[in-house]
Structure 1
């Protein structure tokens, strides 16, 4: 039985388990704590910054992959030197870990992206504001996610604290043009070592407080061919192995600009669990083991995903489950077994069908019951 090891015990590792069972694989999880979302699959508890612990976990696995992108790449390089298959490899993963590395590579490839620059000083920030302001986006190159490590600023003083500890961010901040976009899109794809590449239906993502709230697939009236070719260019040039998400801005003129990358299953692809012939989790496992990729087409005209974000430190949604299930039997429920906390990703709802408006209304109303609103 092939063994896939997943570093990180979050909900993505949790949702790989059913796919692994169906494929006849053994899934092992290196979790950070005993009460992680993937606790049922966790075979090791430890520190992913400790090489000896990582190696002890990985040595018997046919491939190592990730629930998150925080493992230092130099440790992953050591695993590769020890003959362990790391997928995606550190040379690809660094582009998802460091946004400045990503921006430089996209520029080298000639792919569309917002105007950007690296900043080491307040003077650098002010110069970029003068050219692209009055407001710009400033990001920490490493460590940010779900809106963390991102600020909209009109003055360098608004990032003085980041500039004061700039060495902790690799010595530079990332400055980006504040794009006047009409909507956000996400192109998921998968590539395996032999080179086979497939995309999922292009999805539209709807954000709330910088966190994904809803996903619609396929994105209505979008440039599917352009999104697919952007994803292909990135995956092939970086030799990405596994699922990759390319987050995109669509301008009012219909132009696509690359926002960020993720090299693992992604929140924007959860619709595929019930909406596609092959889910992103199954596809990821196929890819990292270099197995033939599955059919990614939709089973229905539309698939909708509604994120369940924590409302407070008490509501884990379980008390309202029966009522929500009774009112919306067509909804597929996915909870992550996490302790409740405001804004935390606690689960999601999937809906499929032919009437997009009806799916969105049903999903939002079901979520309102779980939120006790």
Structure 2
């Protein structure tokens, strides 16, 4: 697996159960996956020699991020390396303009957009679509980076000029009037078998996913089916091998629009580690190794994943002590820590809370209760503060 981050770390856990060894190409020995894998190559994903060392003797080469240059992957293919997903698919997760144009050609729903070579292109798009606008770099942005929600057309022009001056390819999109964000997570094998988990609702704060609710509550059956079928169709049309996450906008008028694609395990699927019969990490390995895919059914009516983010002020008590208190109060909380040092806003882990089997995703009070418990647990691990004001010294 190219990349030594938390996705590779959690894929390594799944590999052990399947009797596999996951070699990782990591930047340093401190990377989350490098801390736990017995087979580590240290190097950069932009270094062909490092990529070749990582691929040497492997059954398949896959990724925990989208940033490996496709021209280097084409050279690995020429070497006979089994690259999954192949660069012809991966480019659609790397370059938003390539993705938007291909999806438009496939008649998949996307926001209105335009490539920007200069300020005049922003003006022309605004005259056609109106404001507000979103300016994006075509490559490299994640967790809100490279994305500017413009206040007005002048602000959009300024943002585009800044990115262009830095050498980035730029596009401008309409700001979608959305009800919420959803994600359709699917997997596809080289044999062509597909599998899909329930569509989930994701909650973003400052461009970072903070919560995923599975299945998405109060989702119309037609939209649920449309999102799932869209994910499976795109996996087939783009030639994806492995997990594909299709991030979606549900608009206020009841439509679906594709926002982003990711061709790897994804934050919106972390709930599957404890809440589905087959986790996204096991499924990704099954897919790239061309095993039959696993059952994607959830094990409870609602599962909520909450990300643990580094606090602005790092708590004085250690993470070990925070875990101790969390487990004492919430013994059913499933915690996954990434082996990362704490810094403000950094994803350092996540918590999964499995709802009671007697609940229903259509019961708003039940969903709110499961969400509150997940948020409370994650906030405690981040801040060493209970959101409900609970004090163990006052507890009886």
Please state which band the TM-score falls in when normalised by the shorter chain.
over 0.9
- Structure-2 change in CA distance of 1:158 and 1:71 (3 Å): closer
- More strand as a share of residues: 1
Map of 2:341 onto structure 1: 339
The answer (yes or no) to whether the contact 1:187–1:203 under 8 Å persists in 2 is yes
**Partners of 1:137 and 1:176 within 8 A in 2:** yes
Match of 2:158 in 1: 157
| Secondary structure at 1:163 match in 2 | helix
Q: Does 1:195 align with 2:192?
A: yes
C-alpha contact (below 8 Å) 1:246/1:262 kept by paired residues: yes
Shifted more, 354-363 versus 257-266: the winner is 354-363
Match of 1:361 in 2: 372
- Contact persistence 1:216–1:303 (CA under 8 A): yes
5+ residue gaps, structure 1: 1-5
Q: Equivalents in 2 of 1:313, 1:241: separation in Å?
A: 41
Partner in structure 1 of residue 322 of structure 2: 320
Normalising by the residue count of structure 2, what TM-score does the alignment of the two structures yield?
Answer: 0.90
Is the contact made by 1:330 and 1:351 (CA closer than 8 Å) also made in structure 2?
yes
Q: 1:325 & 1:228 partners in 2: Cα distance? A: 36
User: Aligned pairs, how many?
Assistant: 364
Inter-partner Cα distance in structure 2 for 1:158 and 1:259: 20
Shift in Å at residue 67 of structure 1? 0.8
Which runs of structure 2 are paired with 1:191-340 in the superposition (5 Å)? 191-222=188-219, 223-312=223-312, 314-315=314-315, 317-340=319-342
Give CA-to-partner distance per residue, 1:59-86, whole Å, 9 cap, x none: 2100000011111001111111111100
Unpaired stretches in structure 2, ≥5 consecutive residues: 360-365, 386-396
10-19 or 356-365, larger mean C-alpha shift: 356-365
Task: Compute the displacement of 1:313 (Å).
Answer: 6.8
Deviation at 1:367, TM superposition (A): 2.2
Question: In 2 relative to 1, CA 180–134 (structure 1 residues): closer, same or farther, beyond 3 Å?
Answer: same
Contact 2:160 2:170 (C-alpha < 8 Å) held by counterparts: no
Q: Counterparts of 1:70 and 1:318 in 2: how far apart (Å)?
A: 33
The answer as to whether partners of 2:118 and 2:161 remain within 8 angstroms in 1 is no
> Which residue matches 1:3?
none
Q: Matched residue of 1:87: which SS?
A: coil
Shift of 1:220: 1.4
Q: Which residue of the partner structure matches residue 384 of structure 2?
A: 372
Matching residue of 1:49: 46
Determine if contact 2:308/2:379 at 8 Å carries over to the other structure: no
CA contact (8 A) 1:327 1:366 kept: no
- 195 and 135 in structure 1: CA distance in 2 versus 1, 3 angstrom threshold: same
Instruction: Find the partner of 2:351 among 349, 353, 372.
Output: 349
Q: Deviations over 1:346-368 (max 9, x none)?
A: 10000112332221121122223
Q: Moved runs in structure 1, 4+ residues, more than 4 A?
A: none
2:41 and 2:53 in contact (8 A); partners too: no
Among residues 13, 22, 26, which one is paired with 1:27 in the alignment? Answer: 22
Structural RMSD (CA): 1.2
